[in-house]
């Protein structure tokens, strides 16, 4: 049952309206295709954030294309962050996503040590539809799991939630008890708050759930969005980026999740009119102004 967000929502970041928060976006960069930093930089910027990219890999195109190149950037990242330290860069949040190697988990943990006051926003990008992404390994998935404990917000889809909790992928049609079990299992791993994405019960809607360690699954909030009759690559990254942007705007977690869901739905509607969208992915450019208005009201 959908709950009243105004009474139970949790605010994770108190924002001075004159201040622009700085977010380290630890993601890969794709030259072609709408995902990762290609999504995070414009979406977070539209939400009023100063985006500081930490590129975990460079791709010619995302992995849904038949042909792509990948360059793992692990070897440059410690020097990259050393330079930030020498320039006294400060951060208000660390938003992590797709990683190029298991060793990059140590890079994110370094950011946590050096910026202990920064929010830890973890999108555990590992797979979708019951399958891991082609560049991922079991070792990398295990390493990704190390970021769960202490995460201020963990944002898995059902595939990623299954990997993190060591369960078989259940499909998208979870009943309330299964949702509760999954949320409690994720919170038991040490996440402070969880946004579980993509429950589809075949009724023309998609459901996302928000739960906190303070109340467990019993206090979860359900967010229901109309489902479009097609799917689009990159919506997970667009959703997580909009969610993080709304959080850093000072909105409550459930309200941020609601805004992110509607932002993605509207972007998908516009995407259907764009050439080659089946391969390239979600087009959100026409909706960035609306996102700005929503998070700054």
Query: Where in the chain are the domains?
Result: 21-288
pLDDT over threshold 90, residue 8: no
User: Is residue 3 pLDDT above 70, yes or no?
Assistant: no
| CATH number listed for the domain at residues 21-288 | 3.40.1190.20
**How confident is residue 13, by pLDDT bands cut at 50, 70 and 90?**
very high
pLDDT over threshold 90, residue 133:
no
- Mean pLDDT across the chain: 94
Residue 65 has pLDDT above 90, yes or no: no
pLDDT of residue 7: 52
- Residue 261 is classified by DSSP as H
Pairing relationship of beta strands 119-122 and 153-154 according to DSSP bridges: parallel
Per-residue pLDDT tens digits for 214-266: 999 999 999 999 999 988 888 999 999 999 999 999 999 999 999 999 999 99
Please give the average per-residue pLDDT across 13-26, as a whole number. 96
R_g of the chain, CA atoms, integer Å:
18
- Of 43, 38, 12, nearest to 242 by C-alpha is 43
181 pLDDT more than 90: yes
* Alpha carbon distance 27, 21 (integer Å): 18
β-bridge partners, 223? 208
pLDDT level of residue 4 (50, 70, 90 thresholds): very low
Is 1's pLDDT higher than 60? no
**Measured distance CA(125)–CA(97) in Å, rounded:** 5
pTM above 0.75, yes or no: yes
Does the pLDDT at position 2 exceed 50?
A: no
Which carries the bigger pLDDT value, residue 278 or residue 86?
86
């Amino acid at each position: 049952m959908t709950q009243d967000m105004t009474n139970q929502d949790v605010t994770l970041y108190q924002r001075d309206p004159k201040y622009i928060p700085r977010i380290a976006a630890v993601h890969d960069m794709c030259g072609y295709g709408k995902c990762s930093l290609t999504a995070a930089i414009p979406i977070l910027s539209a939400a009023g954030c100063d985006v500081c990219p930490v590129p975990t890999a460079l791709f010619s195109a995302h992995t849904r294309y038949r042909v792509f190149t990948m360059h793992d950037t692990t070897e440059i990242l410690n020097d990259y962050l050393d330079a930030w330290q020498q320039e006294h860069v400060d951060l208000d949040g660390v938003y992590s996503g797709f990683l190029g190697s298991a060793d990059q988990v140590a890079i994110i943990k370094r950011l946590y040590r050096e910026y202990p006051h920064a929010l830890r926003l973890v999108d555990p990008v590992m797979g979708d539809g019951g399958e891991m992404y082609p560049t991922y390994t079991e070792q990398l998935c295990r390493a990704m799991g190390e970021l769960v404990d202490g995460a201020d917000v963990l944002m898995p889809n059902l595939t990623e939630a299954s990997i993190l909790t060591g369960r078989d992928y259940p499909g998208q049609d979870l009943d309330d008890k299964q949702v509760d079990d999954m949320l409690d299992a994720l919170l038991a791993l040490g996440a402070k708050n969880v946004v579980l994405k993509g429950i589809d019960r075949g009724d023309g809607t998609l459901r996302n759930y928000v739960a906190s360690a303070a109340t467990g699954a019993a206090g979860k909030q359900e967010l229901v969005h109309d489902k479009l009759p097609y799917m689009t690559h990159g919506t997970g990254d667009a959703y997580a980026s909009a969610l993080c942007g709304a959080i850093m705007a000072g909105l409550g977690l459930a309200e941020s999740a609601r805004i992110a869901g509607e932002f993605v739905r509207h972007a998908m509607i516009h995407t259907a009119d764009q050439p080659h969208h089946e391969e390239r992915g979600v087009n959100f450019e026409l909706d960035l102004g609306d996102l700005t208005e929503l998070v700054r009201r």
